[in-house]
Amino acid sequence: MVDLRENERKMLSILQKLGGKASVEQLVSEENLSDASIMRAVLALKGMKLLTTSERKQTIAKLNKEGKGHAEKGLPERLMIEALRRLNGKATIGTVVQKAGLEGQFIPIALGWIQKKKWAVLDSKTKTLQISERLTEGNDEKLLGLLGEKDQTTVEGLDPELLEAVQILKGRKLLEVYEKTRRIIELTAAGRSAAMKRIRVTPEVTQLTPELIITGKWRKVKLQKYNIEAPVSCSWPGKKHPYLRFLDEVRQKLVSLGFKEMTGTAVETAFFNFDALYTPQDHPSTETSGAYYVKSPKCGSVDAYRQVMAKVKETHENGWETGSTGWKYEYSPKKAERLILRAHTTCLSARTLLSKDLEIPGMYFSIGRCYRPEVLDKTHLTEFNQVEGIIVDKDLTLRDLLGVLEKFAIDIAGADRAKFVPDYFPFTEPSVELRAYKKGFGWIEFGGSGIFRPEVTLPLGIQVPVLAWGLGIDRLFMLKAGIDDIRQIFSSDLNWLRKQEAI
């Protein structure tokens, strides 16, 4: 006699009823049990060698919302050709569209496919459509009809001519295609024999209740043993975003090295974002193609910095007392008041150098959001983070700066090695670009650095060298996390987020 629990007995009985072999989905539909309950019973029966399990990957094709709409009404090109047929086979595009009742976003799609399928010929001069004789139903429509009835299908089970249609509908973004693992449960010879014998079901208690404890019945019942190897449903605990955690780690490392954090607002005046950093007011980076200007209010107050602005103005126009010749143009205090979304966090460095709390020697850093109208690609965003830093002390040299940058690349970003390339910035001289290499990713550009020019430091009242850098911390994280597309950091890809380590 076989001694089993209730769910285990049910499992043997159902499998025998289904011919000794079934998928988990079939077992769920046959009996009102959850996936977890079934898998616990399967694991127990597998341990008794009463059944075996196997896995098979399947590709599932399922219509999305737009696809379901087309399955119900017909593809846009089908609606257009049927309307053209009702118009005696020839009509202007406008007339056909009106007759078909097509929505605006589907008109170019219908025109493209109606010609690709050679259902009609378009006269571009008269904007007239002429119906063709070839109006056969395509495999894409056949698959659309099939999925409209079944909701989803297994790609591997489709006829060869419909396999190509899967790619067509997927390319038209009407179809979702994903992989699914199908578990097959099969009775062994011992399992078939056990299913045919009289099975004794042992009642077990899964939870101790107050009643069992008070009455003492807990001494007489059999408590179900916990199977720590039984599979359970996945749980996704709340955790800090991996990128935010990385920012905290960088911040902690810099503080431990003796740096103090600089903070400021995302909306800044052009004076601190450009002018105080010796960037001429007609520089390309000050154009709307290089910065986001605030529409309302357009200007902010710089009254507290009028004396400094006067020195900056002279420095731009004729070099003031810096030994420079300046940029040789007429400086506009009005332009200095324009409000922008800060294009870099170097503006915080300029504010810090003006602060009464500045310490010399001193080391300062900031991690802040910046905004530029960049073209989106794998390494550029219009909204990004930057780690900014300055070191203020006498006798500082370029060698000191390179040592700090190398530490960033190797110790913080996990790069294999770093190199430095000469660069140009209006506010530093010499200027250096940091690049880091990691096996499997190649070389990545992180940002610029250098020693602030006298045209920056002297108008701000600083008489000693200032090392400065502004690095794309998003790219530092890409290297550390093994990501090759910066957009991945800010995506809502739950699958990627769930796989990240929780700390």
pLDDT one-digit tens code per residue, 455-490 = 999 999 999 999 999 988 888 888 878 888 888 888
Q: What is the DSSP string of 198-237?
A: -EEE---B-S--HHHHHHSGGGTSPBPPP-TTS-------
Gap between the Cα atoms of 54 and 463, Å rounded: 75
Helices (H), 19-73: 24-30, 35-47, 65-73
User: Which of the given ranges, 21-35, 230-244, 457-471, has the highest pLDDT on average?
Assistant: 457-471
Whether residue 443 has pLDDT greater than 90 = no
| Candidate from 86-100, 400-414, 417-431 with smallest mean pLDDT | 400-414
User: What is the predicted pLDDT for the residue at 318?
Assistant: 95
Domains 2-57+179-203 and 245-266+343-497 belong to one CATH topology: no
pLDDT band, residue 3 (cuts 50/70/90): low
pLDDT band, residue 442 (cuts 50/70/90): confident
Stretch 53-62: mean pLDDT: 85
Domain 245-266+343-497 has CATH 3.30.930.10: yes
Stretch 278-307: mean pLDDT: 93
| Domain segments of the chain as ranges | 2-57+179-203, 65-173, 245-266+343-497
Whether residue 261 has pLDDT greater than 90 = yes
Whether residue 1 has pLDDT greater than 60 = no
Strand partners, 267: 341
User: What is the predicted pLDDT for the residue at 55?
Assistant: 83
Q: What is the DSSP string of 382-395?
A: SEEEEEEEEEE-TT
pTM (predicted TM-score): 0.58
Whether residue 503 has pLDDT greater than 60 = no
Select the more confidently predicted residue: 34 or 18. 18
Stretch 218-239: mean pLDDT: 73
User: Which of the given ranges, 198-212, 302-316, 467-481, has the highest pLDDT on average?
Assistant: 302-316
Contacts of 171 (CB under 8 A, 6+ apart): none
Gap between the Cα atoms of 366 and 261, Å rounded: 5
Retrieve residue 269's tokens.
Answer: 């005046």
Strand partners, 421: 433
Encode pLDDT of 327-376 as tens digits. 999 999 999 999 999 999 999 999 999 999 999 999 999 999 999 998 88
DSSP class of residue 357 equals: T
Whether residue 190 has pLDDT greater than 60 = yes
Gap between the Cα atoms of 289 and 18, Å rounded: 68
pLDDT band, residue 388 (cuts 50/70/90): very high
User: What is the predicted pLDDT for the residue at 200?
Assistant: 58
For residue 220, which phi and psi values (nearest 5 degrees)?
Answer: -100, -25
User: What is the predicted pLDDT for the residue at 165?
Assistant: 86
Contacts of 300 (CB under 8 A, 6+ apart): 267, 269, 337, 338, 339
Domain 65-173, what architecture?
Orthogonal Bundle (1.10)
pLDDT band, residue 20 (cuts 50/70/90): confident
Encode pLDDT of 84-138 as tens digits. 889 988 999 889 889 988 888 888 898 888 888 889 888 888 889 888 876 777 8
Gap between the Cα atoms of 43 and 227, Å rounded: 9
User: What is the predicted pLDDT for the residue at 2?
Assistant: 55
User: What is the predicted pLDDT for the residue at 268?
Assistant: 96
pLDDT band, residue 178 (cuts 50/70/90): confident
User: What is the predicted pLDDT for the residue at 291?
Assistant: 93
Select the more confidently predicted residue: 327 or 492. 327
Stretch 248-256: mean pLDDT: 90
Whether residue 202 has pLDDT greater than 70 = no
Gap between the Cα atoms of 138 and 317, Å rounded: 72
Question: Average pLDDT over the chain, rounded to whole?
Answer: 87
Neighbours of 376 (CB within 10 A): 10
Contacts of 276 (CB under 8 A, 6+ apart): 308, 312, 347, 350, 456, 459, 460
CA 12, 192, 224, 44 torsion-angle sign: negative
Whether residue 444 has pLDDT greater than 90 = no
Retrieve residue 53's tokens.
Answer: 């399990």
User: What is the predicted pLDDT for the residue at 456?
Assistant: 96
**2-57+179-203: what CATH class?**
mainly alpha
